[in-house]
Structure 1
Amino acid sequence: MPRPEGFSYRRFDDGRVEIVHRGRAAATLRGDRAAKFLAAVEAGDAQMVMARWTGAYKFGNERTARSHPRHQGGRR
């Protein structure tokens, strides 16, 4: 599975944290969630933490899902 990339975050004076993915806002966190996010970023791999918090990461089932009958009629 490829490593997530393209994430960054911005902290605002009012305590809010905005997670940005490839130049677009992916999530805005406030209060306790923002504090937990900042602690997680400092403790671990920042790119992976941001991918998990936004839900924008691979789950490992993409190859299996590609062969599902629901995906056979459309474009690939």
Structure 2
Amino acid sequence: MDGIDKRNRLEENPFSYKKSKDNTVFIEFHGKRVKILKGKEVEKFLKRIELAGNDKEVQLILAKITGNFKRGNERKK
């Protein structure tokens, strides 16, 4: 995983997720909702999260799922 997060942005844990009762997952970036997963996407996502070894891997999974969070110009708030 070396070289993926060169500026150590994922160390700050900018991403979070919440699972609702109706099996929907909400992914947030610094508290703002940026992605909603439903159906089969939720199952696939939760399996990947379970296999993650540490918080940084979870953050990387969340960053990749959101898609457009890879250029380094994201604002914190």
**TM score, norm. by length of structure 1:** 0.69
Change (3 A) 1:40 1:58: farther
Which of 47, 51, 59 is 1:47 aligned to? 59
Determine which structure has the larger helix proportion and give its number: 1
Deviations 1:25-74 (A, max 9, x none): 01000010011111111212110000000011348xxxxxxxxxxxxxxx
Matched length: 60
- Match of residue 32 from structure 2: 24
Q: Which runs of 5+ in 1 are unaligned?
A: 60-76
Distance 1:15 1:53 in 2: 17
Q: Within the alignment, does 1:57 sit opposite 2:70 as a pair? A: yes
User: Which structure would you say has the larger Rg?
Assistant: 1
Q: Which runs of 5+ in 2 are unaligned?
A: 1-5, 73-77
What stretches of structure 1 move > 4 A for 4+ residues in a row? none
**TM score, norm. by length of structure 2:** 0.69
Aligned AA (1:53): I
